[in-house]
Structure 1
Amino acid sequence: MAGQIPQRFIDDLLARADIAELIGERVTLKKAGRNFQGLCPFHDEKSPSFTVSPDKQFYHCFGCGANGNALRFLMEYDGLRFPEAVEQLASRYAMEVPRDTDDDPKAQARARERKRQQEASEHVLETAARFYRHQLGQHDAEQARQYLRSRGVSSELAKRFSIGFAPDSWDSLKHALNQRQVSEQEQVEFGLLIEKEGSNRTYDRFRNRVMFPIRDWKGRVLGFGGRVLDDSKPKYLNSPETPVFHKGRELYGLYESRQAAPRAERLLIVEGYMDVVALAQFGIDTAVATLGTATTETHLTRLFRLVSEVVFCFDGDSAGRQAAVKALSTVLPQMIDGRQARFLFLPEGDDPDSLVRREGADAFNERVLCASSLSEFLFEQSSNDVDLKQVEGRERFVSRALGFIRLLPEGVLKTVMIDALSERSGVERGRINTLLGEKADSAPADSHFERSYDAEPSSRAQPARTRFGDQTLNASERALLLLLHSPESIESVPEGTQWCPDTDSGTLLAKVVELIRAGQYRSAQVILMHFHGTEQGAHLQRLVKRQDLLLPAQYRAQELKNLVEHFKRQQTQLSPQQEYDALREKEQRGERLNRDDAVRMWQLAQELSSGQG
């Protein structure tokens, strides 16, 4: 196996590369002084905000924030992994890519495993998708075809979305894949089979369901969603988290939307597969669906690279409103200048599927155009159950609104929102800025925990703990909690695991750190799978549910760094015997002990004498 690409070669390659020439082959650029300008290829815009600097060998978009060097551009634009981008760029200059032969064996193993997973997933999941599509045309799929007809899904649309059918059988897919030399282990790994606990028996995960392949932006199948055709539960079933499928990253229908409407200016975020398919049936090709989870920062980062506006679509009931508030908190940090977010609330009892069938595409599009702006929804939510005629009501309104506005990045939108809040509340703008400044460097008000680990611990036998009411976590458990919810925070901690405490929870922390690094995992569910059926797995399951103790995502990496520093301090702390011996040696060398040292030495002598007695 080839080793890592040496940094010296990468530096030399970038020094030779002509970034303006490279990007100019893909994007129309015009000279603008010493730089070049053009329309950003990573989001839709009508006026150019994409700049390429030949001097700095760097590109930057002032609209969506995309930036980087020639390698980064190839990775983003052509969808290449880093080694592939290096190979492609090197081939332009007839340069052979060297590999370090003394590469870390663990790194080689990780690279081999990633390559195996990618190749296996493409073969296994594409084969499964073809099997499901074939089954939809078979005799025993009449109920599935009838269901699709009843929902207005034409055969052309079913083909476009690669909709299929999982037979009402425990092993039809398993046998079909076995015949194509796909091992049962791989079928379990990628979520197609379930392995019965305590035995080696396996069976098909999806049975008697209409199947919706979930594809990445290149069209590669990553997983499946299945809609049951009888009264079984759950009604909708997704693939589990796997090495290639992460619900918090992927969006159903994004590939199909980009194929049908590559120049769309907005995307509509809905809840279900059939909402996406039904809207497409009516010519609305700009809908995507989350996969049984709330919209995440990763989802929004991906969408804002493609369009400048997202519209969240929710039910009009209280649950829909609560989901909208969560989406508001998630989207606010993403609102750099030029982006828009709006909120569409449907009539109670309706979903996009039923509403577009009843009202038609034109009426539905009109609802989208009239959806509440981000500012309207923010101020509406902040003024709920508040009497703005009362001083107390205005105080509560301002406090709520500031909690949201504080999440906005610096820019025109934040400035305008502060002005609007001042006008609505009657509080002077300067006072609002002061209130914002007072809280700027502090943790959000909903982070109700006490980080006592920052202080030096009084004893190694009493590890620092994080408190929440009458429940506590020790520092190692706190680190595990952060890693489970934000595995990407692993980049903020030192290599190796020597810093992990020598305790049961510290040993588990070391295992999780090694696992995340080895698999490059970004999903708690994949991590938990590795500990399934063990005491450690049960402990991790309990921890992952403790969202009450979580900081917002933007603070977690720093929190983890603080914990690592705490662990290091603990490891350098002397035991009572070591501390006593050091003071005794100092005294024997003839050095005069000060009063504090003398008192401490006496205390240690008493403590050690008591322990021996």
Structure 2
Amino acid sequence: MALSPQWLDELRARVTLSAVVQRTTKLQRAGREWKACCPFHNEKSPSFTVSDEKGFYHCFGCGAHGDVIRWMTDQRGLAFMDAVKELAAEAGMEVPAPDPRAAQRAEQQAGLHEVMQAAQDWFRASLDTPAGTKARDYLASRKFDAHTMERFGFGYAPNARNGVANSLKQFDRAMLIEAGLLIAVDDKEPYDRFRDRLTIPIHDPRGRVIGFAARILDADKKDAPKYINSPDTPLFDKGRTLFNLHRAGPASRKSGRMVVVEGQMDAVAMAAAGFEEAVAPMGTALTETQLGLLWRMVDAPILCFDGDNAGQRAAIRAIGRALPLLAPGKTLSIVGLPPGLDPDDLIKRQGAKAMEALLSEPASLIDTLWRFERDSAPLRTPEDKAGLKARLIAHCDAIQHSDIKSLYRRELLEKFSEFAFPPRAPREKRDWKSGFAKPAKPLLDPAVAGRLRKSADGGSRDTLAGAVIAGLLRFPDQILVHAEPLGRFAAGDGRNGPALESLIEAAELLEPGEETPICTPQGFAPPPDKSRFAFLDEGADPQGAREDLAEAVSLLVERPALDAALAAATARFETDPEAAFAEQQRLLKRKLAFEKRLGLMASRRAARAAQPEIDLSVADPGAQDETRK
């Protein structure tokens, strides 16, 4: 059975080396690595290290070295395929079935690697010929030093239709075509893809040449593309490749960051200025696979695109690709370059310190998204503002992770409310006793207050709904924040819906962004069990109270859906008793968890009420222990 290098690399990436080693060897954390006494020879002091980032173990005593597969074969004594199968089962991967064609493809790829390296050697040699003068002049104009030009392997593709075929005669033309070096059109003679261009080799993560980027040198050829890349081949897939990743990956482990720029020459310029951790996509927007490669290196890659409109569009396209993939701790940061400047321009004009200053304080993904949508179109009319809100909600809906989606929705709608409804000067009333003016509590519109009072009559509100309504009266700035879920809940709840709809309407009619509690309508009774809810406590911290109110809204919206699902499961007993029972038990567990969350709100209130009475600074240690218990 032939396993492709790509499949084995994926297997190694999915398995954590230290977790496998720790099953039989006790490891101790040592910075970003692990250490232990070597399991391959007897020693008293640790000289055996394991690096998850680098993907290998190494002993400085006996020289034992390898990856996770080598560990399974050498330390566990398994055969290679047995080791691969065991690791694949852990990683959730299927081992490819025996296929003679797979072996043929692996052999074919090995041959293509030889072709690409030979082409790179020829391009590099051509740069030093008289024909390469224009390419050398261009490199001189970019002021790249000799070290930068050497390690990035710049070359020159001569202006000849058959230069590659004549220079690489040891390879069949079919291989040259498959490697993307020649173009074959119908029955015509194949000709060179890269002609009279500066070439830059593209490498895979193992440092092997898999393709080329080529820049035009003749400024008069305005119709020709400025850059062209190799086509997709068995070695090169532009959507799965990042330029300079094989160098930037090790550098990112030292700097703790990964910088994504727009083009290959930007990455070269960054590296020449000392920013070794720069990579670039292959002339297209970042793909999901490329984002995955970046997130393996760092938690928050930095997008550093040009400061023109095209650069901003590229950044927002990358954000759009990233939103569905966001996970706890995995995000993007964005650096906005000055208008009209690319990374090389900024470094040449203002120096590397200016670039470092920008990279050290990147903007968050959510702030960039908000500013882009806010500034993308005029916002003169209510319809314009409604369009902005719709675009923000569409971005939130693209996020797959439920917690991140709800947090993005909440924060973006808060930004929208602050922007669309800026606070006005508070209404004032005269306190004739003191002679000073004091802000009055906002008053509800009489019609709204009447509907709110009517909906509250006759015991129509239950404890939780009543507490939420009272909490929104106390914190009116939270009404629009939770308008979406409350609106959905109100539409399906005939008892509490009118009161909530009245409050949402009031948020539009009252002072926008008003934080002063709304004056409770006359005849509007407080919730029946006010003591259970911390956000109704007049002495509670306002920020904490708002967080508790958000939790209460979440519970209020969740409850009817849970009750409906439980009723539906119960109704299925006659037709499918076994499945209905299992579903009912699952939902009952969820309901118990729901009730527990509801009970925790009262517990938090009690804990906060008791907290001032505890003075740990003067209590003896025994008293502190009893308090903690």
Shorter-chain TM-score category? Answer: 0.5 to 0.7
State the partner residue of 2:79.
95
Which 5+ residue runs of structure 2 have no aligned equivalent? 5-14, 35-50, 58-66, 86-95, 418-478, 491-629
Is 1:356 paired with 2:347?
yes
- The aligned residue for residue 298 of structure 2 is 307
- Summarize the alignment of residues 414-425 of structure 1 with structure 2, pairs less than 5 Å apart: 414-425=405-416
Unaligned runs of 5+ in 1: 6-16, 31-36, 42-47, 49-72, 439-613
Residue by residue over 1:99-154, the C-alpha shift from the partner in whole angstroms, topping out at 9 and shown as x without a partner, is 99xxxx99624312321232112111111112222222233322211211110111
Residues in 1 aligned to 2:361 and 2:52: alpha-carbon distance in whole angstroms: 38
1:428 aligns to 2:411 (yes or no): no
Q: Which residue of the partner structure matches residue 188 of structure 1?
A: 177
The higher radius of gyration belongs to: 2
Q: Could you tell me whether the CA contact under 8 Å between 1:161 and 1:256 is conserved in 2?
A: no
1:606 maps to what in 2?
Answer: none
Matches within 5 A, 1:468-547: none
Q: Does 1:410 align with 2:401?
A: yes
Q: Secondary structure at the match of 2:228?
A: strand
Q: Tell me, yes or no, if the aligned pair for 1:312 and 1:341 is still in contact at 8 Å.
A: yes
- Counterpart-to-counterpart distance in 1, 2:323 and 2:16: 37
Contact 2:270 2:343 in 1 (8 A): yes
Residue 216 in 1 paired to residue 199 in 2?
no
Separation (CA, whole Å) in 2 of partners of 1:283 and 1:28 = 39
Matched, 1:229 2:227: no
- The change in CA–CA distance for 1:410 and 1:29 in structure 2 (over 3 A counts) is farther
Contact 2:135 2:156 in 1 (8 A): yes
| C-alpha deviation, 1:398, in angstroms | 2.5
Q: 2: distance between equivalents of 1:280 and 1:18?
A: 30
Report deviation, 1:218: 0.9
Contact 1:90 1:97 in 2 (8 A): no
**1:421 and 1:244, CA in 2 relative to 1: closer, same or farther beyond 3 A?**
same
Q: What corresponds to 1:77 in structure 2?
A: 55
Q: Tell me if 1:280 matches 2:258.
A: no
Instruction: Say if 1:339 and 1:74 are closer, same or farther in 2 by CA, change over 3 A.
Output: closer
Compute the displacement of 1:382 (Å).
3.1
Q: Closer, same or farther in 2 for the Cα pair 1:119/1:26, shift >3 Å?
A: farther
Partner SS, residue 329 of structure 2: coil
Structure-2 residue corresponding to 1:203: 191
Residues paired across the two proteins, number = 380
1:161/1:386 Cα in 2 relative to 1: closer, same or farther (>3 Å)? closer
* Equivalent in the alignment of 1:378: 369
Shift of 1:428: 3.3
**Equivalent residues in 2 for 1:65-144, closer than 5 Å:** 77=55, 89-90=72-73, 92-95=76-79, 97=81, 108-144=99-135
2:339 is paired with a residue of what secondary structure? coil
Q: How has the CA–CA distance of structure 1 residues 3 and 384 changed in structure 2, closer, same or farther, with 3 Å as cutoff? A: closer
Distance change (3 Å), C-alpha of 1:317 and 1:430? same
Match in the other structure for 2:573:
none
Quote the Cα distance in structure 2 between the aligned partners of 1:26 and 1:187.
Answer: 49
How far apart, CA to CA, are the structure 1 residues paired with 2:489 and 2:152? 49
How many angstroms does 1:89 deviate by? 3.0
Is the 2:323–2:395 Cα contact (8 Å) retained in structure 1? yes
Deviation at 1:239, TM superposition (A): 0.5
How many Å separate the matches in 2 of 1:361 and 1:238? 29
Residue 176 (structure 1) shift: 2.0
For the 8 Å contact 1:418–1:432, the answer to whether it is kept is no
| Alignment of 1:295 onto 2:295 | no
Match of 2:274, SS? coil
TM (norm. structure 1) is: 0.55
Match in the other structure for 1:328? 319
Match of 2:161 in 1: 170
Query: In structure 2, what is the Cα distance between the partners aligned to 1:260 and 1:326?
Result: 26
Show CA shifts across 1:464-488 (max 9, x none). xxxxxxxxxxxxxxxxxxxxxxxxx
Deviation at 1:379, TM superposition (A): 1.5
* Aligned-partner Cα distance in 2 for 1:24–1:435: 52
Q: For residues 515-574 of structure 1, give each alpha carbon's deviation from its aligned partner in whole angstroms, at most 9, with x where no partner exists.
A: xxxxxxxxxxxxxxxxxxxxxxxxxxxxxxxxxxxxxxxxxxxxxxxxxxxxxxxxxxxx
User: What is the CA RMSD across the aligned residues, in angstroms?
Assistant: 3.9
C-alpha spacing 1:316/1:260, structure 2 compared with 1 (3 Å): closer
Partner of 1:146: 137
Contact conserved, 2:347 with 2:355, CA < 8 A, in 1?
yes
**1:89 maps to amino acid:** M
Query: 1:407 offset after TM fit, Å?
Result: 2.2
- Offset at 1:183? 1.0
User: Helix, strand or coil: the match of 2:202?
Assistant: strand
Aligned 1:20-39 pairs, distance under 5 A: 22-24=20-22, 29-30=27-28
CA distance in 2 between counterparts of 1:111 and 1:75 reads: 29
Q: Secondary structure at the match of 2:238?
A: coil
- In the alignment, is the contact (CA less than 8 A) between 2:157 and 2:194 conserved in 1? yes
- How far the C-alpha of 1:168 sits from its partner, in A, is 2.2
Q: Note the C-alpha offset of 1:24.
A: 4.7
> Is contact 1:27–1:39 with CA below 8 Å preserved after alignment?
no
What is the Cα deviation at residue 347 of structure 1?
Answer: 3.0
Instruction: In structure 1, give the amino acid aligned to 2:278.
Output: A
Deviates more, 1:89-98 or 1:132-141: 89-98
1:193 Cα offset (Å): 1.1
The one-letter amino acid paired with 1:398 is: K
Q: How far 1:177 moved relative to its partner?
A: 1.4
Q: Deviations over 1:438-468 (max 9, x none)?
A: 9xxxxxxxxxxxxxxxxxxxxxxxxxxxxxx
Q: Is the 8 A contact 1:152 1:278 kept in 2?
A: no
Partner of 2:38: none
Q: Is the 8 A contact 1:133 1:162 kept in 2?
A: yes
Partner deviation per Cα, 1:272-316 (whole Å, 9 max, x = no partner): 221111111111112111111111111101001001122223333
Moved more, 87-96 or 264-273: 87-96
SS at match of 1:227: strand
